[in-house]
Amino acid sequence: MPSPAKDIRVRFGSRVRALRLERGFSQEAFADAAGLDRSYVGGVERGARNVSLLNIERLAKALRIPIAELFDTSSGRPQS
């Protein structure tokens, strides 16, 4: 089993959290903008959720970024 730090769900959740904070969204406001429940978004950010493609699209739209940017770890932004 991969270590939690390397699990793609954890890395994806960290990326979502970093982008959300960078844009000044509270978790609740971000969840509302994405049309998702706040507890679901919290689970995504913790890496506890295996996110569907439909919800990845919702998260990207709420952040106003292309879907691919959610997976871009080469931008030099913190991944925590």
Domains and CATH numbers, the chain: 8-69 (1.10.260.40)
The DSSP result for 5-36, as a single string, is TT-HHHHHHHHHHHHHHHTT--HHHHHHHHTS
pLDDT at 75: 54
Q: What is the mean pLDDT of each run of 10 residues along the chain (80 residues)?
A: 72 96 97 98 96 98 97 60
pLDDT at 4: 54
pLDDT at 43: 98
Look at the chain and count its residues: 80
Q: State the DSSP code for 70.
A: G
pLDDT at 72: 87
pLDDT at 79: 44
